[in-house]
């Protein structure tokens, strides 16, 4: 017989760790009916009949946040067979507040006191038997992180659920309060189950508006409320809260024995440093720099280079076998190529015609006989034999790494050199495009279909998937920081800063979640009670680079800045700066004026996260990205391929050749959009339409920006100067314009999925369009200022765009530093009151 067990507890009590430990891979994620709050369910390992439902982390069953409403509605209406109430053993008093409410629901409860390993380390002791007696439910000690006691917990929870017996809360408040509660219980009709009457009675006394929506008959309890408030001289909600904590204190005193050890815990000692008023921000900046440096520049870069050049390129040497021999051969070929180029340039300098030999040597389809005859004819020309050219070879940074002389005999020998085939060295594994291309050739696939698959799907989706290793490295870091407890401190640190600019630290939590994906980040704003703060958080959450924007960051960093680590780090802090500046500016408007919501958060003790939890978190985020590549990106690349492969030539519509790209439908569309971005510097060499199209395609999904580049610039193809796709890109934009392009894509309107989340959360069309418009205008203005002022300082270029940029900076500065009118008026009023 199937049973359902609910898992309930405070945030940061180890609930997710326990859920993962109990269900393993037997879990599935969805949304609660009618809302977008995440719902996790899973089959308990070793018991297929038992389903575990992970409720949102909450502090109480009061309807202050959507998570609390969702959890309460599920427990009341669905009535699971049992509840596992997990509490943090290091902070039992705070956790028991929720426990007392859960036990009033009439559902069998088993309590799991978590983090007993930390308790033992601290020297604290919990009297489990006495605690069980006082609470009226079974209590089990566990360590979810280390797997201690969870088998016993599961067996007892399943046995409790199978009994199908309603439970009765044993805790009682003072006599006067209990009498009033019983009076309200007597007023409740048959619409409320007997075991739930205490819970409903207390909620009615607390003036809980939402509880009445779950009742068929709503009794009038105004007399009982008035009686209680008169006797205690306080509002009923505060009275009940005080009664709960009085009861909890009596339990703690009898059941918990604190260690006599004096001194700070390890977590406290760490917090003295990482949350220090002066050191906290620099430490946070260093941590994020290391995270992005390793993810984008070192480990992540190496993995991505292998994926782009190997898996989605020509191929790779298995385990590096034969790599060194191939590199030696490639170096020799590079030297021979440099010798030919240098000799031909020297011949030009002497006035000797080189058109014929350049044409033949550059023609891949020319026969060996034609090449030999052309070289012999060239060498026989007057003055050629007297040439001694100076050849140079440069490294990736443009520094000369080799110099040598080239005579006519060296030139002849060099023209006979053939580019080495990596497959001739060691164990060579061909890349996905090669394998698919060979397969299509073997079955005589139609040309247009080959183009769709290779130039569209493989090039576009492959360009995105090539960055998956980089993203997985980033997600591992983020999962570690979240699991060990540091990110909770970051929210606390940012609260001190955000509060000065009109936002609460609660606003930073959605932004932390949004670093993985903007959609859950936007949805996480529901925990913010203040409507103004919530709307501002929704508008600004997507400024923090999400996982989908990481490939764009890596692309720009690799193509223009030699994979410099500062590019990724600066992108993160530009997002933070945009949030802070937006908070300052928007809080000075009537729409957002007011004090920020208070911020209260439990800071969990630092601990080493388990490898399985970190890897599971990394995989969940990574798999979401991969699924998007296989669905949204796939469809987008097919549409983009059609638009770039077809067009009008000489008045006729049809499929185009590769060199006719500028005649395509996509080019026509892009040419209309491109002038909008001319002030941003996206028009170098007449290729601005490509940048415009890439940016617009990012509205479908931000990964599309890279996919579009992969298709437009010939993914994995080598240019004449030896650079690959990102080198081709670097030829049409200046580094300053490229950085502006990056910033525009970071700050402008997010992908369609995130826009949908914004629309749902705003629940108002005007607010939705205001949010999208604000994001896009801000992104455009910042990118314009970066390009125009950057060009002024680096190249001395001054024009109309420069004047506009300077005016925008002045205007932006005025909005930042102008007086806060509401605050000023309040000061004036307070002075008048003082005089009176």
Distance CA 16, CA 620 (A): 14
Phi, psi for 479 (deg, rounded to 5): -65, -40
The tokens for 632 are 């949204």
The series of mean pLDDT values per 10 residues for the chain, 836 residues long, is 87 83 68 57 85 86 76 87 90 87 91 86 84 89 87 92 84 88 87 86 86 81 88 86 88 80 74 84 85 77 78 85 89 90 89 86 82 88 87 79 89 88 89 88 82 75 73 82 80 73 68 70 70 82 82 81 80 86 80 64 74 81 71 75 78 72 78 84 71 82 76 50 51 83 89 79 86 92 91 83 90 79 42 39
The tokens for 61 are 């069953």
**Beta-bridge partners for 125:** 257
H-type helices in 713-799, by residue range? 725-730, 735-747, 752-762, 765-795
Distance CA 197, CA 52 (A): 26
Give per-residue burial for 678-702: e unless 16+ CB within 10 Å, then b.
Answer: ebbbbbeeebbbbbbbbbbbbbbbb
Distance CA 664, CA 657 (A): 10
For the chain, give percent helix, strand, coil, nearest 5: 65, 10, 25
Asked if residue 77 lies in contact with residue 215, where contact means CB atoms within 8 angstroms, the answer is no
Q: What is the pLDDT of residue 109?
A: 93
Asked if residue 14 lies in contact with residue 58, where contact means CB atoms within 8 angstroms, the answer is no
Residues of the chain with CATH 1.10.287.1770: 175-257
Look at residue 733 and give its three-state secondary structure.
Answer: coil
Q: Which CATH class is domain 175-257?
A: mainly alpha
Q: What is the pLDDT of residue 157?
A: 92
Residues of the chain with CATH 3.40.50.300: 3-163
Distance CA 493, CA 491 (A): 5
pTM: 0.64
Half-sphere exposure of 521 (CA within 13 A, CB side): 29
Name, in order, each residue with C-beta under 8 angstroms of 226's C-beta and a sequence gap of 6 or more: none
Asked if residue 53 lies in contact with residue 6, where contact means CB atoms within 8 angstroms, the answer is yes
Q: What is the DSSP string of 165-187?
A: ----------HHHHHHHHHHHHH
Asked if the 3-163 domain carries CATH number 3.20.10.10, the reply is no
Asked if residue 596 lies in contact with residue 530, where contact means CB atoms within 8 angstroms, the answer is yes
Distance CA 544, CA 575 (A): 5
CA dihedral 150, 154, 155, 158 (to 10 degrees): 170
Q: In what order do the strands lie in the sheet with 138-141?
A: 27-31, 38-43, 50-54, 3-9, 82-88, 109-114, 138-141
H-type helices in 278-402, by residue range? 280-292, 299-306, 323-349, 355-361, 368-380
Q: What is the pLDDT of residue 25?
A: 62
Distance CA 74, CA 643 (A): 49
Distance CA 15, CA 53 (A): 11
Phi, psi for 309 (deg, rounded to 5): -80, -30
Q: CA-based Rg of the chain, rounded to a whole angstrom?
A: 33
C-alpha closest to that of 570 among 801, 365, 427, 746: 746
Cα distances (Å, whole numbers) of residue 257 to 138, 141, 261 = 19, 15, 12
Q: What is the pLDDT of residue 829?
A: 41
Q: Would you give the DSSP letter of residue 424?
A: G
């Amino acid at each position: 017989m199937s049973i359902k067990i609910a898992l309930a507890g405070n945030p940061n009590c180890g609930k997710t760790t326990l859920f993962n430990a109990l269900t393993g891979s037997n879990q599935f994620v969805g949304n609660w009916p009618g809302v977008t709050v995440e719902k996790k369910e899973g089959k308990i390992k070793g018991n297929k009949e038992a389903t575990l439902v992970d409720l949102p982390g909450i502090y109480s069953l009061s309807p202050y946040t959507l998570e609390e409403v969702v959890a309460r509605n599920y427990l009341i209406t669905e009535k699971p067979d049992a509840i596992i109430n997990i509490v943090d053993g290091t902070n039992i008093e705070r956790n028991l507040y929720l426990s007392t409410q859960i036990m009033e629901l009439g559902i069998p409860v088993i309590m799991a006191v978590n983090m007993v390993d930390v308790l033992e380390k601290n020297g604290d002791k919990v009297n489990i038997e006495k605690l069980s007696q006082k609470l009226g439910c079974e209590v089990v000690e566990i360590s979810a992180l280390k797997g201690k006691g969870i088998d016993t917990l599961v067996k007892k929870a399943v046995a409790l659920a199978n009994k199908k017996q309603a439970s009765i809360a044993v805790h009682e408040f003072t006599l006067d309060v209990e009498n009033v509660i019983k009076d309200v219980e007597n007023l409740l009709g048959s619409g409320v189950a007997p075991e739930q009457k205490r819970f409903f009675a207390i909620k009615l006394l607390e003036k809980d508006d939402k509880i009445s929506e779950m009742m068929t008959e709503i009794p009038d309890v105004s007399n009982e409320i008035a009686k209680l408030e008169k006797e205690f001289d306080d509002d009923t909600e505060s009275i009940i809260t005080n009664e709960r904590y009085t009861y909890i204190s009596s339990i703690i005193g009898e059941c918990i024995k604190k260690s006599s050890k004096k001194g700070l815990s390890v977590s406290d000692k760490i917090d003295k440093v990482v949350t220090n008023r002066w050191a906290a921000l620099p430490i946070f900046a260093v941590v994020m720099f290391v995270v992005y440096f390793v993810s984008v520049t070192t480990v992540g870069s190496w993995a991505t280079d292998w994926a782009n050049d190997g898996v989605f390129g020509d191929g790779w040497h298995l385990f590096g076998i034969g790599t060194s021999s191939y590199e030696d051969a490639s170096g020799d070929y590079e030297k021979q190529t440099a010798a030919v180029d240098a000799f031909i340039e020297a011949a030009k300098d002497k006035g000797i015609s080189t058109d014929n030999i350049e044409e033949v040597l550059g023609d891949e389809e020319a026969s060996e006989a034609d090449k030999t005859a052309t070289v012999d004819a060239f060498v026989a020309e007057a003055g050629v034999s007297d040439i001694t050219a100076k050849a140079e070879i440069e490294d990736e940074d443009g520094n000369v790494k080799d110099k040598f002389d080239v005579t006519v005999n060296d030139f002849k020998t060099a023209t006979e050199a053939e580019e080495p085939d990596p497959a001739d060295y060691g164990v060579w594994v061909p890349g996905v495009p090669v394998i698919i291309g060979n397969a299509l050739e073997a079955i005589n696939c139609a040309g247009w279909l080959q183009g769709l698959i290779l130039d569209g799907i493989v090039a576009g989706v492959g360009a995105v998937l090539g960055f998956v290793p980089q993203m997985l490295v980033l997600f591992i870091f983020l999962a570690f920081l979240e699991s060990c407890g540091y990110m909770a401190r970051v929210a606390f640190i940012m609260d001190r800063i955000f509060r000065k600019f009109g936002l609460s630290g609660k606003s930073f939590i959605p932004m932390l979640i949004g670093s993985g994906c903007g959609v859950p980040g936007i949805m996480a704003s529901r925990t913010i009670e203040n409507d103004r703060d919530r709307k501002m958080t929704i508008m600004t959450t997507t400024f923090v680079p999400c996982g989908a924007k990481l490939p764009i960051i890596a692309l720009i960093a690799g193509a223009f800045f030699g994979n410099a680590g500062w590019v990724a780090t600066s992108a993160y802090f530009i997002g933070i700066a945009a949030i802070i500046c937006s908070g300052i500016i928007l809080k000075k408007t009537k729409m957002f004026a007011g004090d920020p919501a208070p911020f209260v958060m439990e800071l969990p003790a630092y601990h080493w996260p388990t490898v399985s939890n970190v890897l599971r978190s990394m995989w969940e985020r990574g798999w979401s990205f991969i699924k998007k590549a296989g669905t949204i990106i796939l469809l987008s690349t097919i549409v983009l391929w059609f638009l770039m492969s077809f067009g009008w030539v000489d008045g006729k519509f049809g499929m185009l050749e590769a060199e006719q790209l500028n005649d395509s439908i996509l080019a026509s569309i892009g040419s209309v959009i491109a002038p909008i971005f001319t002030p941003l510097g996206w028009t170098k060499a007449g290729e601005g339409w490509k940048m415009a199209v890439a940016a617009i395609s990012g509205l479908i999904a931000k990964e599309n920006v890279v996919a579009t580049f992969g298709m437009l610039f010939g993914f994995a193809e080598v240019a004449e100067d030896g650079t690959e796709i990102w080198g081709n890109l670097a030829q049409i934009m200046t580094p300053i314009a490229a950085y502006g392009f990056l910033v525009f894509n970071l700050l402008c309107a997010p992908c369609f999925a995130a826009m949908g989340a914004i629309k749902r959360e705003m629940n108002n069309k005007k607010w939705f369009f205001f949010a999208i418009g604000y994001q896009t205008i801000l992104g455009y203005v910042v990118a314009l200022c970066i390009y125009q002022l950057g060009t002024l300082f680096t190249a001395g270029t001054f024009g109309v765009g420069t004047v506009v940029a300077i005016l925008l900076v002045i205007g932006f500065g005025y909005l930042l530093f102008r007086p806060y009118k509401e605050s000023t008026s309040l000061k004036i009023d307070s002075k008048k009151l003082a005089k009176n």
